[in-house]
Structure 1
Amino acid sequence: MLTRRHIRIKVLQTIYAFDKAEIDELKKSEKFLVYSMEQMRDLHLVMLGLLVNLRAYAEVQLEKRKKKHLVTQEDLNPNTRFIDNKVLVLLKDNAALNNLIAERKLDFWQLDDEYISLLHKEVLASEIFEQYMNGAEPDFKADKDFVIQLYKQIIAPNDKLYDYFEDKRLTWLDDYPVVNTGIVKLLNQMGPNPSDGKLMPPAFKNKEDLDFGVDLFRKVVLHDEKYTKDIIGKTPNWDKDRIADLDMIMIKMGIAEFLHFPSIPVKVTINEYLEIAKEYSTPKSSIFINGILDKLVQQYRDNDSLNKIGRGLR
């Protein structure tokens, strides 16, 4: 689920916390890094749980309508297409999914049901809901297409949900777009009998990705003094204190990849940190970082310390 870029962002955040003495021990910092990366899987479960609870809330509302003092024929015989949606029912009935949500204490929507209520109102007022409810009798594909559009148009871009997660767990803000993309991909791949593994993908594509994050963090922290000297040597008009903290960390992470990760091409490393800088640092940071990394690559090539194996990696 985690991409290498997202792993790099988690490492950047952890090193920043370590440098600011928010976490003052290497082992504790490593545990925090792994924890923050695994948090993404929890958010994935929370968002699937949201779909389950949204359907359950709609079902309760239909039952309440039947008990009104003045009921209509529509109240007594409501359109149940939404609560009968085959994708939503599959999620509701998936024991492994619901057990994992309970075990990890991630069923937030039972307590914070006002967000479900707000979403339900938005769903009812939406054009896609009206078209779905009044269309031809849906098959599995139509049910799935509706849930995908529901997620993409109403749930994922919801500002109130974003604010909720900002208050709930700050680390989830960076994870939110990636998780939403992953859930849309999961929904697209769902069949009538999805396996548990498809509903609950691992946090990492493989163990190498987990090791990459931890190793990158260690290399930057343990070689901090050397990397700082290399950087200052390439910025004659700048002293160390004038370089933005995040820029300094990203350059050091680039150095670590140049010197200690032989299978990652130089261009990939530079491009990754330029993109991260555009999102997390100052407007001119990517230009500054690009210039420093280019100089460092040339130095490491000249002194034969650039550790790359295979064609095209240098």
Structure 2
Amino acid sequence: MLNRRSLRIKGMQAIFAYHTAREAEYNICKQEAQEQFIPDLNSMEVQDKDELAKKRELTAKGFEILIHKGTDQLPEDISSDIMKVIKEAQQSYLNRLASNRDYLKKRMLSGITSIYDDYIKFLYIIVEIEQLIEVEKRKKNNTHNNFVKNVVINKLKNNEALEEERIRKKVAWDTDLIKAWYKEYIKPQEFFVEYDNLAKATLEDDQELVQTIYKSIIFKHDNVNDYFETLDIGWSENKPILKSMVLKTIKSIETEASEPLLMELSKNWDEDLLFLKELYDLAIDREAEYEAMIDQKSNNWEIDRVALTDKVILEMAIAEMTHFTSIPVKVTINEYIELSKLYSTPKSKQFVNGLLDVLSEDLQKEGQIKKSGRGLLDNK
């Protein structure tokens, strides 16, 4: 199932992408502004190339000041034509940022909801394999077919709720792909041959076979995983979630009378979704405020020298500590330390840990951290 750490990772990746896109948009808009003063090769009038070069330089400086410091910091003698160009560039820059922000937020949320679609699709891999084997056995007039009789697979294949989800989500696999995986990675395996040769497979045998195929092949084989990585940039984070959901459903078929239990992506989906949306928005909207806090407490380590991943992690942590009253401070700090260990530099753990400890203490003294209910558990 999807947990809060998974959500934080998705949020971190989306916010990191926003920062990266912002830097690119900044450079593009500055260049476009400078290009307004490139000599016009089609003009019949004599152009002062030195003057235009100077204007390009002043345009770049003016744009930088306008974006980073504001209109009131612009030189008073800036010419009207340069002012017009940099103002237009500023508006273009802000429009692009807003567009990127919305796009990345939607992509983040759709990437999460698609995990459930993939869960339904992954449950059908074993059904697709069973159908291939059934055809293969029929061609050889082989009536001994433990796989086709497998209780777990038949429960999945004949479950009405699962079939409804399959149709609703338009689940379909490339038959040639599944056939190749079966012939190359499953059929030659010793565990598969032993199962196929059993005189009569028990429910325990059925369970073990299906679980082994998922554990050893679908979620482990390098070539299979390489395929999924090409389709899903978040595969490394999504795989353990999918694996857990699939295996829990398989294990839920405990008797021949059992029906597969379909997993929920989250027990508190609406609450989790709101958490992620607000965390994303807070980290972007209050970046300047959080950045000032980090800069003040980072022992003369200038904010522009802090690794971008660390900066994103710290700003998310501050947003979480100050905004989400039901999450204990220690939980927040521990979670973002883990993220720094997984996604940032070797020294990030100590940096993030030390800074968040200091910030949490100061923010609590200032009354900016207020916890209630479960959020009070670890804050004494």
What is the 5 A alignment of 1:1-314?
1-21=1-21, 24-25=98-99, 26-64=101-139, 66=140, 76-110=141-175, 113-135=176-198, 137-191=200-254, 192=256, 198-199=261-262, 201-206=263-268, 207-310=270-373, 311-314=376-379
* Mapped partners of 1:173, 1:98: distance in 2: 28
- Return closer, same or farther for 1:131/1:29 CA change in 2, 3 Å cut-off: same
User: Is the contact between residue 217 and residue 224 of structure 2 (CA under 8 Å) also seen in structure 1?
Assistant: no
* Mapped partners of 2:287, 2:110: distance in 1: 23
User: Is the contact between residue 310 and residue 340 of structure 2 (CA under 8 Å) also seen in structure 1?
Assistant: yes
Deviation sequence 1:86-127 (CA, Å, 0-9, x none): 1111222234424433443431333xx234422344322222
* Mapped partners of 1:136, 1:297: distance in 2: 64
User: Is the contact between residue 33 and residue 214 of structure 1 (CA under 8 Å) also seen in structure 2?
Assistant: no
Aligned length: 300
Task: Return 218-227 or 137-146, whichever deviates more.
Answer: 137-146
Give 1:264 shift. 0.7
Deviation sequence 1:157-197 (CA, Å, 0-9, x none): 0111211112122233320122112211221122445557x
Task: Return 49-58 or 120-129, whichever deviates more.
Answer: 120-129
- Return closer, same or farther for 1:299/1:246 CA change in 2, 3 Å cut-off: same
* Mapped partners of 1:165, 1:17: distance in 2: 21
Give 1:259 shift. 0.3
Letter in 2 for 1:178: I
TM-score (norm 1): 0.87
Partner of 2:61: none
- Return closer, same or farther for 1:195/1:208 CA change in 2, 3 Å cut-off: farther
- Return closer, same or farther for 1:106/1:279 CA change in 2, 3 Å cut-off: farther
SS at match of 2:297: coil
User: Is the contact between residue 125 and residue 178 of structure 2 (CA under 8 Å) also seen in structure 1?
Assistant: no
Deviation sequence 1:33-86 (CA, Å, 0-9, x none): 22111121122122112111111121222233x2xxxxxxxxx33530012111
- Return closer, same or farther for 1:227/1:116 CA change in 2, 3 Å cut-off: farther
SS at match of 1:53: helix
User: Is the contact between residue 128 and residue 178 of structure 2 (CA under 8 Å) also seen in structure 1?
Assistant: no
Partner of 2:36: none
User: Is the contact between residue 132 and residue 179 of structure 2 (CA under 8 Å) also seen in structure 1?
Assistant: yes
* Mapped partners of 1:288, 1:193: distance in 2: 55
User: Is the contact between residue 277 and residue 285 of structure 1 (CA under 8 Å) also seen in structure 2?
Assistant: yes
Structure showing greater radius of gyration is: 2
SS at match of 1:21: helix
Task: Return 211-220 or 22-31, whichever deviates more.
Answer: 22-31
* Mapped partners of 2:98, 2:225: distance in 1: 30
Deviation sequence 1:255-298 (CA, Å, 0-9, x none): 01110111111111111111122222222211211111111111
Identity of aligned residues (%): 33
* Mapped partners of 1:268, 1:118: distance in 2: 42
User: Is the contact between residue 283 and residue 319 of structure 2 (CA under 8 Å) also seen in structure 1?
Assistant: yes
Q: Unmatched 5+ residue regions in structure 1?
A: 67-75
SS at match of 2:105: helix
User: Is the contact between residue 9 and residue 276 of structure 1 (CA under 8 Å) also seen in structure 2?
Assistant: yes
Query: CA RMSD, aligned part only?
Result: 2.2
SS at match of 1:122: helix
- Return closer, same or farther for 1:4/1:140 CA change in 2, 3 Å cut-off: same
SS at match of 1:142: helix
TM-score (norm 2): 0.73
* Mapped partners of 1:78, 1:159: distance in 2: 34
Give 1:143 shift. 1.3
* Mapped partners of 1:195, 1:20: distance in 2: 47
